[in-house]
Structure 1
């Protein structure tokens, strides 16, 4: 792809943003359309017919769903690396979009085939994950110092349009599944993904295309490698920590592999490959990052100061990201745990205010989330934040994210109270789920919408694709906490301990996740007080596709 200098209109909104926003709207409809019917489909499909109906099948469906989510938010690492190193954002997004379309086709064609359907889920996870870190940063590349004030408006609009697509997908996909079956319900999102790919392709001649960095000798990984190089016995405590982490990760994978072949080893049977691989990845990231931070000055002189300082900035950002992972463990369960809870509730069709002509399934309550986002983003920007500033409160990105984690915990307390009513034998109206959805969505706007701007502005120029991939990896570890918790409650000792509290397993876990969020919010606040903010927007000028 040829490149040429482009002089953007000073202070104006780039025209090509319309193609990126249009692509995102269709892609989000396709993703949420299939994602939001995945749990209802799995519970009722032949794929899990070998399990008895009830908690066991529901638990298996949740495991499949959260394993899929882990894949979706793991593959941004691959997409970010390919984009930054070899192909650039435009080419990488286009090619992964074609894989994405193939995944949707598999879901529509192989509804009764376990291998075919799971292949489709894998391809969607690969395609969706591959483009996920790039579309936002590609959008940011269209701005420079002359019009960066418009970037915040676009990031908010970007998040708004994501939820515009999600809103209609959440309403319509369950109805398509109910009325026309899985082939149509999964096929329609596939058509939308194809349209998204075409819309993105149509803007190819207008995009600002920042070329890939290629084999950068001063890349993040090369600087880290230099910092950790040498003998652990020569004052290299960081090297020892990094090597220990890698050894632990290899040991975890080896124990899983041997356990899978029937060798009796002290490795939990419920820790399958997905859990084990994620734990190993987490150990490597934590130990290598910690070790590198202790010895980063070793790289100074062998790499430019800007590269070394950029790595230190990335390592600080990764700590922020790690502290956000509990939020995603709560948020992503609205498409699994909350749907299962909603199925046990009474849909108030007899109430005059209930839209019975439209809302017929508990899964459709998920449409509240994107609808509330579309309302809360302008409310926050036009009313709440200006009001707080007039009252003397500084509304920083990190403060918004910390309070967002708190509100997610409050949402799960509300969901837990509803579960107590259900456990007590009461007939609970599905309308009551509106309260936890409102609280969780307010938390989401504070965390996720803010993080899009935060992650782009904090990332050094050569590492924007990778840092966005690490941001999306927070959702992988969020779902990992869910899988670990689900695996834990299958232990007889844990089940007995929960029973001794007088709470049902569902209610106990809801209050547990609320507490998890509150602890994470405290840790986040403590770290945010020391975080040094950066400004890494592109300088004036650029290159176009």
Structure 2
């Protein structure tokens, strides 16, 4: 097992190519959040959902939104695989960026065509997801052990830049949608994505490019896992193999069951063996979750059998991946809360009063409830320097050295508290009282503080915890945690559409919205406690590349 470096590295300079990556990220994030933050308001009022009764449009808009987010964070698997096996990070980022641009063009051109608009969402999910794990690790590739002390500054700046783009997108996109229509509101983010691609291409001669393995590296996570599962040990059987095969069988069974019911229902028949609310996205995500869980347990049970055929460092790194998988699994509730700020909180804001009569309210800037999302990136840009320059130094002087895992655990807890406050606001709305939109500032503050503790910290944590051969799988698993976080939202929303569940909620005296807000809060707080318990035993690694 690798040990943490205890001596200070030689001071190296900041890589000169970093501004190209940061500039690319700022424009790309504007393009992504510009379309994402108006997606739910657009769908609720668009002809795309005109076939549904008005009471069902909000629920369907939320389902479309979270299905889109699931795709965005699923396709890092594809991008990481193509980069590692064939093209390398630079070329993969460039080609997926062009697909990304095509998706934006579809949204702008097909605002009233369901097939064309959803094709655009698919292309954006593919392009954005394909580059997502690569840009972060591409930043890490520009550093070595001589200047890794600069990496934390750049990772924080990288995350600050993401929110710089998101801030302006959150303010401008809702106004563009209202004043100029969806073609312009979706077209402007498309132009920014083209600019992002151009900026990235302009730095092509300066980047450090780690070559792809082309599948020849014998010590990748997949190769070590395969050896561990297939190796036999005299008199010990292969229990891990059978556990992994159970996961594979469940994966195949779920997909076959969904396919069978889709064929039967397409011909007008009934398929009682499969819930109608379990569409392809939910079914595929649940199947993938079971495959990862059972596969991970099986590999862990037999991992030491890979020693001898693989180096001890490779086997230890594979075990580190499995440990990180647990960390990421415990983070998934955070994402189920965080991503609903663009769906559930926007819909809650639509039921609130914009306080234009208040002297302190910026009526010249904020006129739509959806614009409250701009608070999130604005607060991130303030909280990151506050934490680094004030909070963390003060805590260190007081004798508290807060680790990366401790920060992430506290972040999950703060997200839970944010949803407690959102639930209390919902109770006020449900009572019939006129409720000012300004009250959403408090849950946004708590949620954003939690986001900085979780997400900004995890960018560096995820990159540092595995060897070069396994950085790709680590980043893909990190983004899959967002996929599964949004899966919990889809499954919960599907569950409350059941009449028996609705009766149980009614007996609590809470509205459906309030009940779900308190449910998600409890979900996050419970996982924060579990995360804290696991973090105490987690062995930290240091796997920056040598100079």
Superposition TM-score, scaled by structure 1 size = 0.96
Matched, 1:382 2:389: yes
Give, in whole Å, the separation in 2 of the partners of 1:302 and 1:287.
24
8 Å CA contact retained: 1:458, 1:535: yes
Matched, 1:295 2:305: no
Cα deviation, residue 51, structure 1:
1.2
8 Å CA contact retained: 2:231, 2:305: no
Give, in whole Å, the separation in 2 of the partners of 1:218 and 1:357.
58
Most deviating of 83-92 and 399-408: 83-92
Give, in whole Å, the separation in 1 of the partners of 2:170 and 2:52.
27
Matched, 1:325 2:326: no
Match of 2:67 in 1: 67
Cα deviation, residue 236, structure 1:
1.3
Match of 2:402 in 1: 395
8 Å CA contact retained: 1:80, 1:133: yes
8 Å CA contact retained: 2:221, 2:473: no
User: For this pair of structures, how many residues does the alignment match?
Assistant: 531
Give, in whole Å, the separation in 1 of the partners of 2:311 and 2:448.
43
8 Å CA contact retained: 1:330, 1:408: yes
Match of 1:132 in 2: 132
Cα deviation, residue 234, structure 1:
5.0
Cα deviation, residue 154, structure 1:
0.2
8 Å CA contact retained: 1:258, 1:265: no
Cα deviation, residue 301, structure 1:
0.7
Cα deviation, residue 218, structure 1:
2.2
In the alignment, which of 240, 244, 257 is matched to residue 246 of structure 2? 244
State how 1:60-459 maps to structure 2 within 5 Å: 60-215=60-215, 216-229=217-230, 234-260=236-262, 261-262=264-265, 263-459=270-466
Matched, 1:536 2:543: yes
Cα deviation, residue 523, structure 1:
1.1
8 Å CA contact retained: 1:73, 1:472: yes
Give, in whole Å, the separation in 2 of the partners of 1:524 and 1:239.
28
Give, in whole Å, the separation in 1 of the partners of 2:502 and 2:470.
45
**Per-residue CA distance 1:165-212 (angstroms, 9 max, x = gap):** 000000000000000000000000000000000000000000001111
Give, in whole Å, the separation in 2 of the partners of 1:174 and 1:310.
46
Cα deviation, residue 231, structure 1:
7.1
Match of 2:513 in 1: 506
Most deviating of 514-523 and 299-308: 299-308
Give, in whole Å, the separation in 1 of the partners of 2:103 and 2:17.
28
Cα deviation, residue 526, structure 1:
1.2
8 Å CA contact retained: 2:11, 2:149: no
8 Å CA contact retained: 1:84, 1:466: no
Matched, 1:35 2:36: yes
Matched, 1:469 2:476: yes
Give, in whole Å, the separation in 1 of the partners of 2:161 and 2:231.
49
8 Å CA contact retained: 1:255, 1:265: no
Cα deviation, residue 230, structure 1:
5.2
**What secondary structure does 2:348 align onto?**
helix
**What secondary structure does 2:322 align onto?**
helix
8 Å CA contact retained: 1:84, 1:463: no
Give, in whole Å, the separation in 1 of the partners of 2:381 and 2:432.
36
Cα deviation, residue 368, structure 1:
0.0
Give, in whole Å, the separation in 2 of the partners of 1:378 and 1:355.
25
Match of 1:5 in 2: none
Give, in whole Å, the separation in 1 of the partners of 2:313 and 2:416.
39
Matched, 1:11 2:12: yes
Q: Could you tell me which runs of 5 or more consecutive residues in structure 1 were left unpaired when the two chains were aligned.
A: 1-8, 541-545
Give, in whole Å, the separation in 2 of the partners of 1:230 and 1:247.
20
RMSD over equivalenced CA pairs, Å: 1.2
**Per-residue CA distance 1:264-319 (angstroms, 9 max, x = gap):** 34322111110010000000111111100110111111112221111111111111
Give, in whole Å, the separation in 1 of the partners of 2:433 and 2:421.
16
Give, in whole Å, the separation in 2 of the partners of 1:244 and 1:479.
25
Cα deviation, residue 23, structure 1:
0.1
